[in-house]
Structure 1
Amino acid sequence: MAHISAPSVQCQVRVVPTSSFTARPMTSKLWNSLLLNQRKKGTSRSSARFRVLALQSESSTVNRLKDLLNLDITPYTDKIIAEYIWIGGSGIDLRSKSRTISKPVKHPSELPKWNYDGSSTGQAPGEDSEVILYPQAIFKDPFRGGNNILVICDSYTPAGEPIPTNKRHGAAEIFSSQKVINEVPWYGIEQEYTLLQTNVKWPLGWPVGGYPGPQGPYYCGAGADKSFGRDISDAHYKACLYAGINISGTNGEVMPGQWEYQVGPSVGIEAGDHIWCSRYILERITEQAGVVLSLDPKPIEGDWNGAGCHTNYSTKSMREDGGFEVIKKAILNLSLRHEEHISAYGEGNERRLTGKHETASIDTFSWGVANRGCSIRVGRDTEKNGKGYLEDRRPASNMDPYVVTSLLAETTILWEPTLEAEALAAQKLSLKV
């Protein structure tokens, strides 16, 4: 929403003349004197001379604009507005534009392909700039309401080839493998983010140019001195539920001004679609609130927690009896492809994965039960029940969920290490598989 400069509240100043100052001009000195006198007890005479009435203007620009934004067009037309959303050239920025569709739709296959200027998003040269959008997933639009929708798209050349930043296409190929389909991979993704003040790009609630008290009271905290941005988190929570996103919870994080929400359990490619749409909704809400959203994995250097996107993962075999041994085998495979995963787990992650602040070192693979300082954490319930899930704590907050989810499936379901490498890794990690 654009910022509107016209005020929605108009102040009407009424000065009641009396014999004591009828002919006196309203100087700044007199104005201040009247304000001071109004605040003193027992000065009914001055309050009778001076009144400020705050009147709500029903015809103000803001109110009229709000009425139009909330206008329900459903009784008057079958047409709907579809907001086409795609990922820009940086691989993390979200772009969108709107188009009118002749009637409500229930499946993305009912929507037409569209195009955009890829030279303006860093995804195509100016002399051949047309990029084609393929609708892939639809969600209800919490901003426009009614039958209007948000459409998650991926991008292709006019010849039908996925462009380099289209990570969804490769993920869809992995998730369409019959072996992966049979394992029904589940994902629960914990998206952390930081809210920044608009002009200074400093965390919300922090003194400008200064620091709050040390970490400790902020995680899941309540109170004006501990929780900054709760309204944004709550608005996002409800908007995601309205949209049909499988959001499962939210909480304040360890660093003040930082929040987290969880999406899942989601199956296969759906996990990436839901995370990207939830990020878009969060961008729109922070835009309206006049706050900057940051997915930087270490927005503030020093003794402050970074921002991750921990990914909980399980397969059908992991969830069944004897699944803990399958989890151990998956951990072994993950250890052998540690560098490949790290390179795909987000930009700037080396600033976050230092071995401090509940992280493992980026250079060393580790795992443990209930240990948040490891690369892979296994829950106590999983150990006790002999089945369950694992948590990959390495992904950064700005990771691409299509890349992370598909790479986990590929490494643990499709990829097979050599027997020699497997034996050496098992010995190093003290795993019996």
Structure 2
Amino acid sequence: GVQQHITFPVNIIEPALFEEGKMFDGSSIAGWKGINESDMVLLPDAGTAYLDPFFADPTIVLTCDILDPATMQSYERDPRGIAKRAEAYLKSSGTADQAFFGPEPEFFIFDSVRFANDMGHTFFQVGSEEAAWNTGEKYDGGNSGYRPGVKGGYFPVPPTDSLHDLRAEMIKTLEQVGIETEVHHHEVATAGQCEIGTKFSSLVQKADELLTMKYIIKNVAYRNGKTATFMPKPIVGDNGSGMHVHQSLAKGGVNLFTGDGYGGLSQLALWYIGGIFKHARAINAFANSGTNSYKRLVPGFEAPVMLAYSARNRSASCRIPWVTNPKARRIEMRFPDPLQSG
């Protein structure tokens, strides 16, 4: 899916908006309602408010829940509502009272993107001054020759990493809207692959933050004349973009994944991994939601190709990160990609 937005003038913002919501046409959102029962309700969540950093006029952004007007209950297909119900179910089960998630979306920053698919021809072409294939290109200011090679883009210093300042601008903007960041760096692939790491959080909050993060990354790139894409495999022959998701459960403030089993995991953590593996094919429909997703999941590009867990092997679907503090014990599911979240 893609993010949607609607804008209201400040003079109509009243307390009733946060209690009764606002009607919209659900039939115009692909996969939701038919035209015969199109009315749906947007209910803003005041706790998600932030000042949009891109609009010329001051504009407050609010994430909304989607309600069915017949019941004023959460619409069954609303992803945010599903996440809320999942958190409530976890607490009611008694297994844990908190689930923490730390997604790590990778992305490419291109200088240009051209494509066509019509009766006469089909093509796509991405341009990146950082790309290894542009070593022979002539530029007005000259060709410096500083470029990460194929699979050679991990952690280079400038001038090979030409995107440091742009990522720093993204980091500042994320912090401006309340998203706590931890790291940013160039990723493995050539042609401008990057990663920005943010602090883990609960399911609903982190899902909200992930959508905001993608919005900010795309728009910071756009105002700098570039295009950010979270497509899993935009170029052939180099690493694709994954979204490794770190996960753990806690109860009463205690990390339930810490134990003395394999990789320092508890029995509960191993069962948790087993549950994901049991339902892996169903999870693929959401975690790897496009045909392009499966061009990434192939051998030779640091992508998971085995339904296995390992403390070291990055080809495994589940990696157990090494930690110095047992309180930070967690698992890292490596097969998801950033296409899934708008």
Query: 1:223 aligned to 2:143?
Result: no
Secondary structure of 1:94 counterpart:
coil
Q: 2:108 aligns with which of 194, 200, 207?
A: 194
Structure 1 vs Structure 2 CA RMSD: 3.4
Q: 2:304 aligns with which of 339, 360, 376?
A: 360
Query: 1:171 aligned to 2:80?
Result: no
CA contact (8 A) 1:321 1:386 kept: no
Change (3 A) 1:330 1:124: closer
The one-character-per-residue Cα deviations of 1:301-326 (angstroms, maximum 9, x if unpaired) are: 12x00101100011124355555333
Secondary structure of 2:284 counterpart:
helix
TM-score calculated relative to the size of structure 1: 0.61
Change (3 A) 1:104 1:395: same
* Mapping 1:15-30, distance limit 5 Å: none
Number of aligned positions between the proteins: 304
CA contact (8 A) 1:297 1:308 kept: yes
Change (3 A) 1:208 1:184: closer
* Mapping 1:50-69, distance limit 5 Å: none
The one-character-per-residue Cα deviations of 1:23-77 (angstroms, maximum 9, x if unpaired) are: xxxxxxxxxxxxxxxxxxxxxxxxxxxxxxxxxxxxxxxxxxxxxxxxxxxxxxx
Gaps of 5+ in 2: 115-124, 136-146
Partner of 2:3: 94
Deviation (angstroms), 1:191: 1.1
CA contact (8 A) 1:202 1:208 kept: no
CA contact (8 A) 1:221 1:252 kept: yes
Partner of 2:179: 245
Partner of 1:142: 53
TM-score calculated relative to the size of structure 2: 0.76
Aligned amino acid, residue 394 of structure 1: F
Change (3 A) 1:180 1:191: farther
Query: 1:254 aligned to 2:166?
Result: no
Aligned amino acid, residue 205 of structure 1: E
Partner of 2:269: 327
Deviation (angstroms), 1:333: 2.3
Query: 1:205 aligned to 2:129?
Result: yes
Distance 2:334 2:322 in 1: 16
Deviation (angstroms), 1:188: 1.2
Deviation (angstroms), 1:126: 5.8
Query: 1:266 aligned to 2:266?
Result: no
Secondary structure of 1:395 counterpart:
coil
Secondary structure of 2:236 counterpart:
coil
Secondary structure of 1:311 counterpart:
strand
Deviation (angstroms), 1:376: 0.5
Distance 1:145 1:180 in 2: 47
Q: Percent identity?
A: 19
Secondary structure of 2:44 counterpart:
strand
Distance 1:167 1:377 in 2: 26
CA contact (8 A) 2:105 2:337 kept: no
Partner of 1:282: 217
Aligned amino acid, residue 153 of structure 1: C
Gaps of 5+ in 1: 1-90, 402-433
Q: Which has the higher contact order (CA 8 A, sep 6+)?
A: 2
Aligned amino acid, residue 359 of structure 1: A
Distance 2:296 2:279 in 1: 20
